[in-house]
């Protein structure tokens, strides 16, 4: 089953169509599935299990999540990050509600308007220098309660680690939650890359979520090594209800849920989540260090997770893209984003850094 | 990795938590993943592939679907059946559109209102004796075009095989499509169990879809042996557009799509789809025959796919449910539904039939 | 200002373009504005009043509605009936909620799907013989609570008087409300023609609304003689909240609200509402009696409000339509609907009845 | 009917409840109805007219609007400005569409999220110095076409005159429309105060709408002297379709539409629209001049329509508000907005300016 690209293998009519040794820097979800996750899927196979989440794996998963997020945590597996975010935000907001978020938030820029289009959620955006909200920034949009002309700002959404590769400290999140709660707002965390943040902070997950006052979390599995799967995790069940109905009506209810749940079990029971995240972060740091040594390449944002944002001549980037996949983050400035994944290797990094240096050298 | 329930296995921190030898009759999605599908997933693993559908497996999948549905077919993998249906229906309807469907249709009764709530689609329902629409039944709701007070009936949705275990013939579908098209309506097929219908009809897939005039199809993979995955298949690209945007905004876009696509490749390249469906159908027939021999058990609907609907004393059903999982279809009448899956064995059927006979005998 | 059609009048650049002496039988909202209502509008004019409902007329209107509906009633003027219904239903239902209604309900057949499209409300319909729900009919759709696959039936909507010209008794409404409340469902009344029902029943408004257990009401003004205006009336403030936000986001908040509120004041302070409704009902009865005497014309539904439904030869109806406006209610059967309005005169009725008799006579 | 506040008048059970001689500066929709408009309403009264827009007044209205906006214009009366905007934007955008607008746009800040919540429209906002977009500002959000992760920017919405009291020139609008059209985007104008802009520019309405390339317009009647009424005006019928269905499903279809249409006829047949707007603008200018003479009061935005924005000590504003109604525009800075209406008198202005001067004097 693991032969070279294109050859037939016994046991399936499908063929391998790609080179399993090629990795790029475009996105952490270009990666595949961690072998321990595949093994877990196989383990949960065979026999019948009740569909739609009433299976033994999803039942056990509650314990797993309670271990990380405290005794009141409840986990609801869903398909993808947009789904997790939209289900979570709906649970926090009445029909006339709005959520305050950074302008760079995934919910604002990368979900094709799903929060607005699927759930009627208005996003009140705030420009930020580094993808991070603060109480002061939140206040730019957090006002007008009781005024029926204004979609009511009743939630705040933060991303940890952020879309710009930065991390909130536990104290910063605590301050945001306190600020929000004092104003009657609830707090959602988009944790698409939460493991990377935990690795950076050196803290248990609950230290900067449950303990910091976050009410609901989109826990990201896919970028952390799963085949597919995210979890809506309710941290404050007093504030958040009815995820079951919201998940189903939002088309995020998996029938064979055991296969999502068992992946999370494999990820979160031991330290696989942390190993994967730490590795990705380390690879990003390695890349950062390597390119900081290349004249003409500027690392333009703090590398606090698994992303490196850099400025270099556009022609250089375009030449590099012939061999290595990555994206321009900002078409106007030419800023690029390089992501490391759980499966990025040291030699991937070293080869890429060498190629960057080489192409820069050609610039003269 | 395949040890008894609860034991630790090497290679993952997850544990097996269920008995892989127990199967029930509640639903075809209580089943697991076919081994050939698991092998295909492993084959597509490792290395990086472009996310969100620009990978080699999804590219190749187009060929696979064209092989079954004709040269104009376009396949868009999604997560689940509700997602496939809601994306497909949106592509057929303007904001003020309505779809005519059988009262028993999954889109009407089993999706928590997702078509209405997520996409604002009004469903104009028609009671049917057997889950099947006809041109005459469609006309009960297909009227009022041009009248702005009426949500405009611009699509018809049929399910093949139906929620009641029946199948449309190719001729019946052709008649529906002609009738609909003459009135300016487009036709969607919910093919959650389309393979079972093909097996029953003994026809290639295109004979009762593309060739019959169906415009768009929700192709069902999960119940046919996949881990997870359905496909929106555009059959008439003249009528249907913009699935890409609809899929994303409907939160049905998988990042690591290769792992959904390769499952469909494994399913549809050879005859796995047909083997699985034929087997499930055969098992349902076997059960039908066995219970027809039991006095007091009535099979109340034609068994044309993998479902058996039966009437028997409620106490008998309740006693059986202590050992075998299945559902009451109708709480009022006591009608039950028994589903066979791709992994149901002859001995599963025989043991269940024997249990039914035994419990009936106790009734005196 | 009241000259013959088309002539210029002092005081405005607009011209009269219609014959003020022609009235038909198509709809009670083909009628104009009652002179007492126009006088009220003039009374509220001039000077400045706070916009969006914080004016003196809307403040006073609360008293007026409390007089009719009890001390807890709260009135929220809106523009039209569809708006009133959709605002009211949203206030009763969570995002995943559904409302049980008669198949013939206006919310189901005449609002272009606004409940579904604007508010994501699933309507669970029940066929009825006479437009009226009963506890038994409600039970056809009121089930499945807690099952996330089913849009949750959490409200019942009844129309009083119904779309078929019938009226619920106070006892019937009480029974529905008790039945609904026992099951955790709330009750909405579409009172687009509530005054006609009160006139028929000979009861104060609250006897078959507040006192019967109705939670929220769409109070109809337009058909009762207003220029334009309906009211969402909360009868049970324990169950219903946040109409202010729902009204605004549903685009039903009038800036110069004083001019809607003062119309309701003029309608409901004295007996204008009842005079208008009683007159319309009487005219319908007069028409019913006249046509019952015409051989070949069948009155096919009880005349309990201001509508007469009749069966007569289609050609006769079509010849009559050359002179008198009215609609076919059912294109298939040829059933027609004749509506009387507050401004229908006895001679209108007599002339129309004579024309019917005359056209029937021609049929031989 | 025009007696002092609270006294009974013949002809209606309503009472006058306000002082018709008090006017403030809070909003142009605190004003009442122009007498010529009331006269027009009376003219259209009596007799029956077909409901829902098939009446003689709405038919004639098409001519009236074609006179102002060119032979291809089509007018669709609606209830209010939010309704007009949301209907218009839906007609320009597919389900996955987004509209680029100034951050200060009414659709963004004053409609309780109706565009998002009712129509699923994402608003891509741009900060502006003066409420006006430019091609350059539009480009901050107009990008990413074809990328399914981005809600597609397919429309631009501008407000004329703007929410900040400024006006676009015809040339500026032409440049915006050209820029938008070149990129496949359509242009909506929120003309809630369009008459004020025409008065300022000294141009016919079509010069800065149809002739400038605007595709669809929300024409504002209420603030210009109507009782209630706005119009969706299609200027480019090639680009915009199906307003009839959108209007109905958006709950903006008036049954007795003749009474909205005849108001527009009275407004737009002669020069009432321009007289009213010119007067309001003149009053704003008079106020501007008066307060510019008061030391310590700063007029902070160009007065190009009927609004004056000023900075003065907060305590002064608060003391003034005891007698005169007006709002703080910005709670943080203390900036206030003073609006003149069609019925504002010179003595209203002079008295208010005197009061400002007096209160400022008290400040020492």
Which residue stretches of chain C are H helix? Answer: 35-43, 56-69, 81-92, 106-109, 114-119, 135-139, 170-182, 194-201, 243-249, 258-268, 272-292, 314-320, 346-363
- Yes or no: say if D224 and D341 are a contact pair by the CB < 8 Å rule: no
Substitution target from A5, A28, A45 for chain B, most B beta carbons within 10 A:
A45
Cis geometry, peptide bond prior to residue D161 (ω within 30 degrees of 0): yes
State how far the Cα of B213 lies from the Cα of C300, in Å rounded to an integer: 42
Question: So what's the pLDDT on residue B159?
Answer: 98
The residue ranges of chain C whose pLDDT is under 50 are: 1-7
Q: Which of residues 311-350 of C touch B (CB under 8 A)?
A: 331
pLDDT greater than 90 at residue D72: yes
Helix, strand, or coil (residue B217): strand
State how far the Cα of A97 lies from the Cα of A113, in Å rounded to an integer: 16
Question: So what's the pLDDT on residue B12?
Answer: 94
pLDDT greater than 50 at residue D64: yes
Reported as a single tens digit per residue, the pLDDT across D189-208 is 999 999 999 999 999 999 99
Q: How far is B334 from chain C (nearest CA, A)?
A: 15
Residue A3 — pLDDT band, cuts 50, 70, 90? very low
Where does residue C328 rank: exposed (0-12), middle (13-18), buried (19+ CB within 10 A)? middle
Apex CA C151: angle with CA C150 and CA C152, to 5°?
Answer: 100
Where does residue B181 rank: exposed (0-12), middle (13-18), buried (19+ CB within 10 A)? middle
Reported as a single tens digit per residue, the pLDDT across A287-342 is 999 999 999 999 999 999 999 999 999 999 999 999 999 999 998 899 999 999 99
- Yes or no: say if A247 and A265 are a contact pair by the CB < 8 Å rule: no
Secondary structure letter of residue B301 according to DSSP: S
Helix, strand, or coil (residue A186): strand
On whether any CB of chain B is under 8 Å from the CB of A252, the answer is yes
Residue range A182-186: average pLDDT?
A: 98
* Among the listed residues A47, A256, C71, C301, the one whose alpha carbon sits nearest the alpha carbon of residue B325: A47
Q: How far is D249 from chain B (nearest CA, A)?
A: 7
* Among the listed residues C271, C244, C172, the one whose alpha carbon sits nearest the alpha carbon of residue C214: C172
- Yes or no: say if D201 and D160 are a contact pair by the CB < 8 Å rule: no
* Backbone dihedral region for residue A138 (phi beyond 0: left; psi -120 to 50: alpha; all else: beta): alpha
What token pair was written down for D17? 């409840």
Where does residue C288 rank: exposed (0-12), middle (13-18), buried (19+ CB within 10 A)? buried
Apex CA D249: angle with CA B141 and CA D47, to 5°?
Answer: 95
Dihedral angle, C-alpha D262, D267, D268, D269, nearest 10 °: 70
Where does residue C299 rank: exposed (0-12), middle (13-18), buried (19+ CB within 10 A)? middle
In chain D, which residues have their Cβ closer than 8 Å to the Cβ of C64? none
Token pair 């005054």 is at which residue? C195
HSE (side-chain half, CA atoms, 13 Å) at C99: 35
State how far the Cα of A265 lies from the Cα of A270, in Å rounded to an integer: 9
Reported as a single tens digit per residue, the pLDDT across B258-307 is 999 999 999 999 999 999 999 999 999 999 999 999 999 999 999 999 99
In chain D, which residues have their Cβ closer than 8 Å to the Cβ of A95? 117
Fold topology of D272-363 = 3.90.1150
Indicate the average pLDDT of chain A: 96
Report residue B285 CA to chain centroid gap: 19
Residue range A224-234: average pLDDT?
A: 98
Q: From D147, which residue of chain B is nearest by alpha-carbon distance?
A: B245
Start-end of CATH 3.40.640.10 domains in chain A: 35-269
In chain D, which residues have their Cβ closer than 8 Å to the Cβ of B96? 242, 245-246, 248-249
HSE (side-chain half, CA atoms, 13 Å) at B102: 24
State how far the Cα of A274 lies from the Cα of A272, in Å rounded to an integer: 5
Residue range D358-362: average pLDDT?
A: 95
Residue B331 — pLDDT band, cuts 50, 70, 90? confident
What token pair was written down for C156? 């019942």
Helix, strand, or coil (residue B225): coil
Start-end of CATH 3.90.1150.10 domains in chain D: 272-363
Q: Give the number of beta-carbon pairs within 8 Å between A and B.
A: 274
* Among the listed residues C115, C114, C123, C117, the one whose alpha carbon sits nearest the alpha carbon of residue C141: C123
- Yes or no: say if B187 and B211 are a contact pair by the CB < 8 Å rule: no
Token pair 């192409």 is at which residue? A359
pLDDT greater than 60 at residue B214: yes
Reported as a single tens digit per residue, the pLDDT across A54-108 is 999 999 999 999 999 999 999 999 999 999 999 999 999 999 999 999 999 999 9
Residue B90 — pLDDT band, cuts 50, 70, 90? very high
State how far the Cα of A125 lies from the Cα of A135, in Å rounded to an integer: 14
Reported as a single tens digit per residue, the pLDDT across D273-288 is 999 999 999 999 999 9
Residue B3 — pLDDT band, cuts 50, 70, 90? very low
Which residue stretches of D45-169 are H helix? Answer: 56-69, 81-92, 106-109, 114-119, 135-139
Question: So what's the pLDDT on residue C9?
Answer: 60
What token pair was written down for A254? 């998996």
Indicate the average pLDDT of chain B: 96
What token pair was written down for B3? 């040890």
Which residue stretches of chain D are H helix? Answer: 35-43, 56-69, 81-92, 106-109, 114-119, 135-139, 170-182, 194-201, 243-249, 258-268, 272-292, 314-320, 346-363
The secondary element (H helix, E strand) that includes residue B290 is helix B272-292
pTM of the complete model:
0.96
Token pair 């959650």 is at which residue? B192
State how far the Cα of A105 lies from the Cα of A89, in Å rounded to an integer: 13
Instruction: Output b/e per residue, D206-224; b: 16+ Cβ within 10 A.
Output: bebbbbbbbbbbbbbbbbb
On whether any CB of chain B is under 8 Å from the CB of D149, the answer is yes
DSSP for A80-99?
Answer: -HHHHHHHHHHHH--TTEEE
Residues of chain B above pLDDT 70, percent = 97
Q: How far is D36 from chain C (nearest CA, A)?
A: 5
Secondary structure letter of residue C8 according to DSSP: B
The secondary element (H helix, E strand) that includes residue C159 is strand C152-159
- Yes or no: say if A77 and A254 are a contact pair by the CB < 8 Å rule: yes
State how far the Cα of D241 lies from the Cα of A61, in Å rounded to an integer: 51
Q: From D83, which residue of chain C is nearest by alpha-carbon distance?
A: C251
Instruction: Kindly report the CATH class assigned to D35-269.
Output: alpha beta
Token pair 């509650």 is at which residue? A62
Q: How far is C246 from chain D (nearest CA, A)?
A: 9
> Own/partner pairs for B270-273, CB < 8 Å, 24+ apart?
B270/A13, B272/A13, B272/B34, B272/B36, B272/B37, B272/B225, B273/B195, B273/B224, B273/B225
The secondary element (H helix, E strand) that includes residue D98 is strand D97-102
Of C57, C118, C249, the CB nearest to D112: C249
Reported as a single tens digit per residue, the pLDDT across A133-149 is 999 999 999 999 999 99
Q: Length of chain A in residues, anyone?
A: 364
Of C94, C242, C248, the CB nearest to A149: C248
Going from the C-alpha of B292 to that of each of B14, B285, B298, B310, B359, the distances in angstroms are 43, 10, 7, 10, 15
Question: So what's the pLDDT on residue B9?
Answer: 60
CB-based contact C20 D117, cutoff 8 Å: no
State how far the Cα of D127 lies from the Cα of C229, in Å rounded to an integer: 38
State how far the Cα of B4 lies from the Cα of A360, in Å rounded to an integer: 58
Reported as a single tens digit per residue, the pLDDT across A16-51 is 999 999 999 999 999 999 999 999 999 999 999 999
* Among the listed residues D96, C316, C109, the one whose alpha carbon sits nearest the alpha carbon of residue B143: C109
State how far the Cα of B3 lies from the Cα of A340, in Å rounded to an integer: 35
pLDDT greater than 70 at residue D164: yes
- Yes or no: say if A79 and B79 are a contact pair by the CB < 8 Å rule: yes
State how far the Cα of D178 lies from the Cα of D180, in Å rounded to an integer: 5
Secondary structure letter of residue D199 according to DSSP: H
Question: So what's the pLDDT on residue C59?
Answer: 98
pLDDT greater than 90 at residue B243: yes
The secondary element (H helix, E strand) that includes residue C128 is none
State how far the Cα of A117 lies from the Cα of B18, in Å rounded to an integer: 40
Rg (CA), chain B: 21
What token pair was written down for D31? 């004003």
* Among the listed residues C66, C45, C72, C68, the one whose alpha carbon sits nearest the alpha carbon of residue C57: C45
Question: So what's the pLDDT on residue A229?
Answer: 98
Q: How far is D95 from chain C (nearest CA, A)?
A: 12
Residues of chain B above pLDDT 90, percent = 95
What token pair was written down for C23? 């009235």
State how far the Cα of A27 lies from the Cα of A339, in Å rounded to an integer: 5
What token pair was written down for C118? 């604007």
Residue A4 — pLDDT band, cuts 50, 70, 90? very low
Residue D5 — pLDDT band, cuts 50, 70, 90? very low
């Amino acid at each position: 089953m693991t032969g070279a690209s294109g050859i037939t293998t016994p046991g399936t009519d499908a063929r391998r169509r790609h080179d399993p040794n090629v990795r790029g820097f475009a996105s952490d979800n270009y990666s595949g599935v961690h072998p321990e996750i595949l093994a877990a899927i196989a383990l949960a196979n065979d026999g019948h299990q009740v569909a739609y989440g009433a299976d033994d794996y999803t039942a056990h998963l509650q314990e797993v999540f309670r271990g990380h997020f405290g005794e009141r945590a409840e986990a609801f597996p869903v398909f993808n990050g947009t789904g997790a975010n939209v289900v979570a935000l709906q649970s926090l907001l009445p029909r006339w509600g709005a959520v305050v978020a950074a302008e760079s938030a995934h919910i604002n820029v990368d979900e094709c308007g799903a929060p607005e289009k699927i759930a009627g959620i208005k996003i009140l955006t705030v420009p930020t220098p580094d993808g991070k909200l603060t109480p002061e920034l939140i206040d730019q949009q957090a006002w007008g309660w009781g005024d029926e002309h204004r979609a009511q700002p009743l939630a705040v959404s933060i991303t940890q680690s952020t879309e710009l590769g930065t991390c909130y400290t536990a104290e910063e999140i605590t301050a945001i939650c306190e600020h929000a709660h004092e104003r009657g707002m609830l707090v959602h965390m988009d944790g698409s890359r939460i493991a990377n943040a935990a690795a950076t902070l050196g803290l248990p997950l609950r230290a900067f979520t449950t303990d910091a006052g976050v009410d609901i979390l989109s826990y990201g599995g896919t970028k952390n090594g799963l085949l597919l799967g995210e979890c809506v995790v309710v941290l404050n069940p007093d504030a958040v209800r009815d995820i079951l109905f919201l998940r189903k009506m939002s088309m995020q209810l998996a029938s064979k849920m055991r296969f999502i749940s068992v992946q999370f079990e494999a990820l979160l029971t031991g330290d696989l989540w942390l190993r994967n995240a730490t590795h990705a972060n380390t690879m990003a740091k390695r890349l950062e260090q390597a390119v900081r040594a290349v004249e003409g390449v500027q690392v333009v944002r703090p590398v606090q997770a698994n992303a490196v944002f850099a400025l270099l001549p556009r022609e250089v980037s375009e030449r590099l893209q012939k061999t290595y996949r990555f994206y321009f983050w900002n078409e106007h400035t030419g800023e690029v984003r390089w992501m490391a994944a759980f499966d990025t290797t040291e030699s991937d990094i070293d080869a890429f850094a060498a190629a960057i240096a080489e192409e820069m050298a050609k610039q003269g």
